[in-house]
Structure 1
Amino acid sequence: MWKLCELLLVWASFLAAEVSGADRHSRHDFPSDFVFGAGTSAYQVEGAANEDGRTPSIFDTYAHSGLTHGANGDVACDQYHKYKEDVQLMVETGLEAYRFSISWSRLIPNGRGPVNPKGLQYYNHLIDELISHGVQPHVTLHHADLPQALEDEYGGWINRKIVKDFTVYAEVCFREFGDRIRHWTTFNEANVFVLAGYDSGILPPQRCSFPFGLVNCSQGNSSIEPYLAAHNILLAHASAARTYKNIYQERQKGYIGFNIFAYHFSPFTNSTEDIIATQRAYDFYFGWLADPLVYGDYPETMKKNAGPRIPSFTPLESKLVKGSFDFLGINFYDAVKVMDNSRSLDVTLRDYQADTALELKFQQKNSSLFELKPWALQGVLEYIKQTYGNPPIYIHENGQMMPRNATLEDVPRVELLQGYIGALLDSLRNGSNARGYFTWSFMDVFELLDGYDSGFGLYYVDLDDPDLKRYPKHSAHWYSQFLKGGRVDLGSESSIELRQNLTTISPSTVIE
């Protein structure tokens, strides 16, 4: 009961808090070692999908399935060939760090075996280019792009064999790049990956089963596979982290972490049932991965509701997983209201969603935009601080989805940056152990759910231009002024001044 009461107090305090959009913030308000950056991922930005020895990943297979409006990442933003130009844009913007992922199937084309020299060369060149220009490289090892060869051979993440293969892949990365990389993340939002990939089937590797899947999956089991895949991901992370800590960390002086997608949850009503359900939501969507990493086991509610369908850790596995991270990466976009749905526990056919005994109420007023909720980010950071001992946190993704077009006046994205950076500053002053903030995304990329129909980027990429020319949006100018020490707000005069005075970023913001 103490945990429930603590949750209520935290939630109430942040509902009462006010984060003023008119506050003027500067990079200098943050600690000097706090890092600001932007991110992408390999398949979403690199292109060159069939060049220089790279083989398909499950992301390629998904993108060519027709679910992304006929689009794919075969070319994407062509960062594979244009990385020097992109790094120059990062420098001109003032980015302190760039978060990107390594394509496993570009580095080790068959998932195991020989390293691809061309893939190794590309990542060495990208890392060196970043470092030579003073931009910290933050690397993710798995961003929804398992080599298709391993998926075909033994089912990928639902097979325990993946633990060994991932560990070998991770060690190749530590050995080849670790002398220059200080921040490693093993997995990107593992909870979303397993739920969308193995329960609903809407994302790679598109496994699900009737009647739970939201698409017509040809294979899978929505009742079991999400739990199994998450379990193997945790074991693979722990194995890779152990390798890093035992062999490389002391001399390379780096850190290894794990990324989880986080919602802010609050009760739909003030009923006892909805209040208890809110804690259950945190357990199922965040504690599912965070509890094993911090405490060595799954939340009791999950074990009770899922029963034998959720795997158990052996004592040795629990010991290896517990504490196997130096930081947690958080992807945050939205807040959700929670309603109790305990009757779902009585249903004979059960999957992950039924096990949660929840109904989630999204409060978006405009389906094309994320509503600005700075208090919700504060609430998530406070929850992590109170529940998990205040570990180091990096906000790895936070951004605004807008229709992808050549309109560069993306005021809602500026409003989001202003609001959440202000909330982050308030959380730091309240004792949060946050260490960095990365906006998603550096440029408009190939998005998982809708291809090129929407964009999150600071930069627009003209797909009709053979050279895929990049153009800075208003948000790029705003972020640049903030990062370079200017005090910025959202007043109309400030916006006009921003457009008039920030002309150092090239190319021109006007598309002919």
Structure 2
Amino acid sequence: MWKKGFVGVELLLMLVGSSVLLVVDGLRRDEYPPHFVFGASTSAYQVEGAANEDGRKPSIWDTFAHAGNANMYKGDGDIACDQYHKYKEDVQLMKKMGLDAYRFSISWSRLIPDGRGPINQKGLQYYNNLINELISQGIQAHVTLYHWDLPQALEDEYGGWVNKKIVRDFTTYADACFREFGDRVKHWTTVNEGNAFVKGGYDLGYLPPQHCSPPSIYNCSKGDSSNEPYLATHNMLLAHASVARLYRNKYQDKQHGLIGFNLLTFGFVPLTNTSEDIIATQRAQDFYHGFLNPFIFGDYPETMKKMVGSRLPVFSKSESNLVKGSIDFLGINFYVSFYVKGNPKSLCIKDRDYVTDMAVELTAYTTNETLSDEIPIIPWTLQGLLDSLKSVYGKFPIYIQENGQQTHRSSSLEDWPRIKYLQEYIGSILHMQRNGHDIRGYFVWSFMDVFELLSGYEFTYGLYYIDLKDPTLRRQPKLSSVWYSNFLNNRTMDPMVAMQIEKNSSLHDAI
């Protein structure tokens, strides 16, 4: 049951005059550069549904979900938010909210069901319709080519990302996307959270395709945690670089788009001021964010080469030249931060893997204000992360492609923790820009409550609530959607007032 969170007239009037209200005052859209993009994000498997319709075939995420999500939670994306059928309604909500852009992913197994071969015309029509609808409403389409949903056919045939054959097939798939959609899409991200995907999917086994070495609490049926994470990393970098070369040689001059790569990033803080923990913090940076090293310098960080040894693949000279300089921008997803403590004992483990190679212990960074289900609001750690990346890799364009606060599905529509989170992080961007960071866009995760990879439908990040018990999957605005709309439209009306208006009319009138 949803808590109604009713506010009486007297209390509402008191709140309107209170200084504790989370209003948009002091934070205005027009303070940001004219071309700065504000948007929201989702991904194909998490919102589209229609898993078995119009020629779509299973991906590794379908297989993972139907096998029980590594025994972590129940649910799947067979129906999800049904955006496949409700995209026009969703785009109208985006328009009314005032979004500049919508970041979504293309389902490879919907567009090319077997991973290679002919294009599925129904899938092609869907993405053309979605992109055209966005463009017609003045909303930029920011497209991710791979959001963890490799066609199962390629996983079955040759093992997917651990086999170098993936470079050819991913490039062919990307070519089809550029050819069919590139006249309207100007921002392409090849891979979402490549670092998280290889760690969770090929080392620990809590993400698709659920590879890991036994014993494991996630009951992996196959895998090699010592080697596969690094093989998948290497092939992913080569696949990205191949796609970037294709785009630059064949499409960029005519389409004028940009190619990027996305990482899940963290704030890392030494647990103590000892040299051991400070050095361990740098190791954690190198392992988690070290994908940048090949993009900037053409090789892996020296720390990784030292710790992993012969298990780390080696770039040939031509491969190094291909990967180096292959991003026009970096997409980062940022949620949480960690204390880092050195853990040299892990190096004594016989069969080391991606996690033990780092030789660190990570503890979640919390604050006194953090509730058990909430993500701490600590934007200064994002500033520290960007400062660290800039000092090592120089200045380059950045899009914050995911950032948001989780709440339990049974919590109130009046999601004040999410408002406070967004307000703090969006406000911090101005400070970061003034400190020399080339941040070009910010996307809330997520536009609506989606099928979350680590919690299914139990925890949500959405600006809109999806009523799963309603056959129509009715979209209900949360207070955060009103706050975000007020900010995007340079309005200072308090969101609680807007919510009261919405109770008597509709959100669309309120915003």
TM-score by length of 2: 0.92
| Counterpart in the other structure of 2:497 | 497
Distance 1:505 1:172 in 2: 41
Of 129, 132, 143, 1:139 maps to 143
- Displacement of 1:337 in angstroms is 0.6
1:93 aligns with 2:97: yes
Moved more, 403-412 or 183-192: 403-412
String of CA shifts for 1:2-58, please: whole Å, max 9, x gaps. xxxxxxxxxxxxxxxxxxx88720101100100000000000000000000000000
Q: CA deviation at 1:343?
A: 2.3
Amino acid at match of 1:408: L
The percent identity for this pair of structures is 61
The CA deviation at 1:506 is 3.9
Tell me the SS of whatever aligns to 2:173: helix
Q: Which residue of 1 aligns with 2:314?
A: 312
Whether 1:387 and 2:389 are equivalent positions in the alignment is no
Residue 499 of structure 1 aligns with an amino acid whose one-letter code is M
Task: Name the SS for the 1:199 alignment partner.
Answer: helix
Matched, 1:201 2:221: no
Partners in 2 of 1:487 and 1:320 — Cα distance? 49
**What's the CA shift for 1:367?**
3.5
1:269-309 Cα offsets, whole Å, 9 max, x none, are 0101101111111001001x110111110000100000011
Give the Cα separation in 2 of the matches to 1:428 and 1:502.
35
Contact 2:479 2:496 in 1 (8 A): no
Q: Distance in 2 between matches of 1:216 and 1:422?
A: 43
In the alignment, what sits opposite 1:219?
222
Match of 1:276? 279
User: Which AA in structure 2 matches 1:144?
Assistant: W
> How many angstroms apart in 1 are the aligned matches of 2:219 and 2:457?
23
Q: How does 1:501-512 map to 2 (within 5 A)?
A: 506=507
What are the within-5 Å matches in structure 2 for residues 36-435 of structure 1?
Answer: 36-67=38-69, 69-211=73-215, 213-287=216-290, 289-364=291-366, 365-405=370-410, 407-435=412-440
Distance 1:66 1:264 in 2: 31
For structure 1, the residue ranges without an aligned partner over 5 or more in a row are 1-20, 489-493
Letter in 1 for 2:143: V
Task: Say which is worse superposed, 142-151 or 61-70, in terms of deviation.
Answer: 61-70
Gaps of 5+ in 2: 1-21
Distance in 2 (alpha carbons) for counterparts of 1:395 and 1:501 = 32
Deviations 1:61-90 (A, max 9, x none): 011111253311000000000000000000
Bigger CA drift: 162-171 or 58-67?
A: 58-67
Shift in Å, 1:210: 1.8
Contact 1:328 1:391 in 2 (8 A): yes
Instruction: Determine helix, strand or coil for the equivalent of 1:209.
Output: coil
TM, length-normalised to structure 1: 0.92
* Residue pair 2:192, 2:262 contacting (<8 A) in 1 also: yes
Secondary structure of 1:343's aligned partner = helix
User: Residue 407 of structure 1: CA displacement?
Assistant: 2.2
- Residue 457, structure 1, aligned to residue 459, structure 2: no
Q: Which moved more, 1:87-96 or 1:399-408?
A: 399-408
2:502–2:509 Cα contact (<8 Å) kept: no
Judge which range, 358-367 or 444-453, deviates more: 358-367
Give a deviation string over 1:416-450, Cα, whole Å, max 9, x none.
00000011111011111000000000000011122
Does the 8 A contact of 2:272 with 2:341 survive in 1? yes
2:251 alignment partner, SS class? helix
**Structure 1's 507 and 62: CA in aligned 2 closer, same or farther, altered over 3 A?**
farther
Q: Deviations over 1:294-337 (max 9, x none)?
A: 11100001000000111010000000000001000000001111
- Looking at structure 1, the residues matched to 176 and 194 of structure 2 have their Cα atoms a distance apart, in angstroms, of 21
What's 1:13 paired with?
none
Q: Residue in 1 aligned with 2:13?
A: none
Q: CA deviation at 1:406?
A: 6.5
8 Å contact from structure 2 (residues 96, 508) kept in 1: no
Measured on the aligned residues, the alpha-carbon RMSD in Å equals 1.7
Q: Contact conserved, 1:471 with 1:508, CA < 8 A, in 2?
A: no
Which structure 2 residues correspond to residues 427-446 of structure 1 after superposition, within 5 A? 427-446=432-451
Q: Distance in 1 between matches of 2:498 and 2:278?
A: 45
Give the partner amino acid of 1:195: K
